[in-house]
Structure 1
Amino acid sequence: MRPYIPKPTFAFCHSLLPSRLRPAASPTAPAPPLTVQALLTTAGLLPHHLDLSLVALNSLLRVLSRRASSAAHPLLALRLFTLMLSHASPLPSPDHLSFPFALSAAAIVVPSPGNQLHALLVKNGLFPADHYVTTALLQLHAPRPGDARRVFDELPRREAIHYDLVIGAYARAGMAAGGLDLFRAMFVDGVVPDAVVLTTAIAACAQAGALECGEWVHRYVERTAPGLLGDAFVGSALVSMYAKCGCLQQAVLVFDGMPERNDYVWGTMVGAFAVHGMAEEAVACLDRMSTEDGVRPDGVVVLGALSACSHAGKVEDGLSLLKEMRSRYGVAPGHEHYSCTVDMLCRVGRLVDAVALIETMPMAPLASVWGSVLQGCRMYGNVELAEVAAAELEKLGPGADEGVYVQLSNIYLDANRKDDARRVRKLIGSRGIRKVPAYSAVEVDGEVSSFVADDQAHPQLVEIWSVLGLLADQMGREPDEEDTLATLS
């Protein structure tokens, strides 16, 4: 016998129809019937046994919060959660397991009701008392490291997962040095890092170029948990860190010492060779994978080998790999493989061949492809093709590449077409386009310092000017503005 569904419950569920929650969608688009059916069934399931109903609702919230099959599902989850909070609703009130799912949905929805949920958690005493709620709240604020750190600082008891979330938030925001500071504080607080935190910290060392810190973590693992050196994620992080910090030999030693190596580990080693432009070694790994460990390369590993060919200027090897990757390794070339090959051709000035390859692509070229062409035009002074690349990038919509017009302006200047350069600069100003400044980082005595062009707020600006003055004395002239910008960048 089917469970009885009270009319008020039916009305509330009917208000949750996805078609009413997606104003941007076509009004004639049908609502997903499975979602509606699940809502109706769950809301009316054993209405006299609220504990079982709450378990079912939490399961439904969990599925919807993860964008199960529709972009509208997280919004649907929040609407359902709001009804559970309402005193007028026949649905059971949410418990401490309901809130993490609501926070996961809030992290996806724009605009996010995350701040309101945060306040509700504090009001109900669930933060910072509940572990699951706290973890979900840190994940919600992870895109904003400052907010995540404020939540973290309010925790009376911190666990390894909390450190991992905040360290990762710093690293993803390009603030790896802040994450490493927190990693060091972890030991002061007496919290023992697990494999996940160690992997995140090692990745932050690689991003910041903090070799000394990375070596310390390596020694710590060797001393306290040597078995973790065989972990695919910890081992791969160490290989990548040493390679990015210029210690390829040490990266190979870590790789060779791992008892088991899967495709992820092999892909990291291929990437390490690629960083150092060792194309032959990278391509050889594709065959070594199967002979040594019985592992078949996937698209990511092949892409790493293509990147190595690009960095080393091994154009013919790269073209052969792209042509034969399906027959040799059973991997169909994707957009990223074509993009890497186009970049490889542009690096050596074969711009006509690059455009010819683009015309053979089985998919529409994205910004990365035409961006490589534009960069190649800058290097080799091809103004006509640069205009074509810029026009193709503009077709992809605003924001496809913030540096397109800056690049085009520089290409005009290099070709002494000053009028065209001024026209593009005016266009940049009228559209409010701003290129995100690049930055450099260097480790000195265990401390990581970052520099951006024309940085007037750097705490060691005086020392930088002093060194610049010494260099200028060696060259027999005074430093000018161009020297200053070059040093700071």
Structure 2
Amino acid sequence: MSHHHGTTTLARSRCLTLLRHCTKTTQLKPIHALLVTQGLHENLYVITKLITSLTSVSTNLHYSSLLFNQLQNSNLFIYNTLIKAHSKSPHPQTSFHYFNLLLKEETITPNCQTFNFVLVACAKTSSLLSGMQIQNWVFKNGMFSSDSYVQTGVIRLYVEARLWDDARKVFDEIAYVDVVKWNVLMSGLIRCRLGAQALSVFKEMLVFGVEPDEFCLTTALTACAQSGSLWEGKWIHEYVKKRENYLELDVFIGTALVDMYAKCGCLDLAVEVFEGMSKRNVFSWAAMIGGFAVHGHARKAIHCLGRMQTDGIRPDGVVLLGVLTACTHAGLVEEGLLLLNNMEGQYRIVPKHEHYGCVVDSLCRVGKFDEALKLIRRMPMKPLASVWGALLNSCRIHNNVELAELAVKELLELEDCDVDEEDAALVQLSNIYFGAQKSEDGHRVRRMIGDRGLRKAPGCSMIEVDGRTTEFVSGDVSHPIHFQIHALLKLLFPGDPDTL
């Protein structure tokens, strides 16, 4: 008995050691086989370690699920491991399956970690009702006031559902709000294109005396880039420099600064930050190339593509899209076509819809409609509204009525085309008809637009002066110095009715 016990203990120790050093699923399967041959496949502690290792090295959770289904008994750690792994997977709704099984257990009770992981799944799947039920449960059992992870999970749930009032209400009920919760609130606002509001939350956090970490600073810089708030972006840059623990520019903060300066119109400062970074990743290069693209410096964007490969960093699809965009803006049609055709062979990246769309746009801008149409026809995927929209926009510039009619016909037949895209296409087509002196067709399309009840969204622009951002909306007369602005415009552009 003692010899058998010693052999089993040795086998168990050996298997656990092997599990700790596993990095691939293919390595785990032989260890599982060893567990079976040694009679350890029913040892709950060892199987727990095996399932934990499986969920940490692989996104394919099928094997872990099969192991779980064979267990006679389970424990809370295994349930939490599987709920967590599935909440982070491409199929987070599977977390609910294991959560429901856990609730049916007579001897196991969910804890704070369980609810935190399930709340993540609720947020990812927009399961607001389930999330609210869990919120009520944790409130009644006192978990909300005592566990920071659960608090963050509830805030994230409402943020993902874009219920800002509810998110803020929960946020304000927390006695101590750490930097993570502030960041969750800011990140959610940014995802909804509410950069100015996110920046207000950042300022509020500073007023409360909470010191931002590198993630929070990166989020704040992203908010500045989105809202065009250059003054605040420069202030954050100075804040980063003056921090006591500042040694060298963090790669994430550095990348966010490059992106912010480029999007706020200060390309020279973006280049200065980029060149001063001691370490760069693929996102840093993408930000710099994107900056060059927006400002029309296609040759510099192409040069960056070569530099990053010299530095040993392989470009991804985002980087190549940035270079293609730069080529489009600068009219480098042949360079863009060459890059598109060589993406798979040279960079091992299969071109996606947006890569094809960019080159189609490039060809259309210079009036090469036949080549653009040929490229659209040979796309390996179905062209979306963005491609037909690019073609239609160029038809307006070059007054190509026949091709415009084709583009609108194809766009209206798309299953996933939304109403706004359809309405915009019809407005473009009517303008093309009027421009080509085809008034009867133009009025026909306008009547069609009227029947659809179209209301064109007003255009808007934004300007920052002395750190203060002002937004101008077309047709809005509520600005406090509205009359002075119009008087000045009349002086600058006398006799031009478009300035009114």
Does TM-score exceed 0.5, indicating one fold? yes
- 2:289/2:319 contact within 8 Å kept: yes
Which structure 1 segments of 5+ residues have no match? 5-31, 47-52, 485-489
Instruction: Tell me the distance in 1 between the aligned counterparts of 2:97 and 2:454.
Output: 37
Counterpart of 1:452 (choices 473, 477, 482) is: 473
Which structure 2 segments of 5+ residues have no match? 1-38, 44-60
- 2:464/2:470 contact within 8 Å kept: yes
Q: Name the aligned partner's letter for residue 92 of structure 1.
A: I
Q: Give 1:202's aligned residue.
A: 221
Counterpart of 1:297 (choices 291, 304, 315) is: 315
Counterpart of 2:150 (choices 130, 133, 153) is: 133
Q: Give 1:355's aligned residue.
A: 373
2:76 matched to 1:59?
no
- 1:221/1:228 contact within 8 Å kept: no
- Return closer, same or farther for 1:421/1:178 CA change in 2, 3 Å cut-off: same
2:309 matched to 1:309?
no
2:194 matched to 1:175?
yes
Q: Give 1:102's aligned residue.
A: 118
2:128 matched to 1:112?
yes
- 1:163/1:183 contact within 8 Å kept: yes
2:236 matched to 1:222?
no
Q: How far is 1:40 from its partner? A: 3.5
Moved more, 419-428 or 400-409: 419-428
Q: How far is 1:198 from its partner? A: 0.6
Instruction: Tell me the distance in 1 between the aligned counterparts of 2:468 and 2:345.
Output: 48
- 1:405/1:424 contact within 8 Å kept: no
Instruction: Tell me the distance in 1 between the aligned counterparts of 2:97 and 2:439.
Output: 56
Instruction: Tell me the distance in 2 between the aligned counterparts of 1:344 and 1:107.
Output: 39
- Secondary structure in 2 aligned to 1:230? coil
Q: How far is 1:211 from its partner? A: 0.7
Counterpart mapping for 1:187-198 below 5 A? 187-198=206-217
Counterpart of 1:268 (choices 282, 287, 290) is: 287
Matched residue pairs, number? 439
- Secondary structure in 2 aligned to 1:449? strand
Q: Name the aligned partner's letter for residue 58 of structure 1.
A: N
Q: How far is 1:283 from its partner? A: 0.3
Moved more, 380-389 or 198-207: 380-389
- Secondary structure in 2 aligned to 1:462? coil
Q: Name the aligned partner's letter for residue 415 of structure 2.
A: G
- Secondary structure in 2 aligned to 1:158? coil
- Secondary structure in 1 aligned to 2:176? coil
- 1:229/1:235 contact within 8 Å kept: no
RMSD of aligned residue pairs (Cα, Å): 3.0
Q: Give 2:358's aligned residue.
A: 340
C-alpha offsets along residues 302-347 of structure 1, whole Å, 9 cap, x if unaligned?
2111111111122222222223344444444332221111111222
Q: Give 1:390's aligned residue.
A: 408
- Secondary structure in 2 aligned to 1:297? coil
- Return closer, same or farther for 1:110/1:173 CA change in 2, 3 Å cut-off: closer
Query: Could you say which structure has the larger radius of gyration?
Result: 2
- 2:328/2:358 contact within 8 Å kept: yes
Instruction: Tell me the distance in 2 between the aligned counterparts of 1:180 and 1:116.
Output: 31
- Return closer, same or farther for 1:365/1:191 CA change in 2, 3 Å cut-off: same
Q: How far is 1:175 from its partner? A: 1.6
Q: How far is 1:240 from its partner? A: 0.9
Q: How far is 1:34 from its partner? A: 5.6
- Secondary structure in 2 aligned to 1:149? helix
- 1:205/1:213 contact within 8 Å kept: yes
- Secondary structure in 1 aligned to 2:415? coil
Counterpart mapping for 1:15-54 below 5 A? 37=66, 40-41=69-70, 44-46=72-74, 53-54=75-76
- Return closer, same or farther for 1:331/1:33 CA change in 2, 3 Å cut-off: closer
Q: How far is 1:483 from its partner? A: 4.6
Q: How far is 1:184 from its partner? A: 1.4
Instruction: Tell me the distance in 1 between the aligned counterparts of 2:200 and 2:395.
Output: 42
- Higher RCO (CA < 8 A, seq sep 6+): 1
Moved more, 118-127 or 410-419: 410-419
TM-score by length of structure 1 reads: 0.81
Counterpart of 1:283 (choices 299, 302, 306) is: 302
C-alpha offsets along residues 396-436 of structure 1, whole Å, 9 cap, x if unaligned?
21444623333323332342245544544555565566666
Percentage identity across aligned positions?
41
TM-score by length of structure 2 reads: 0.79
- Return closer, same or farther for 1:211/1:474 CA change in 2, 3 Å cut-off: closer
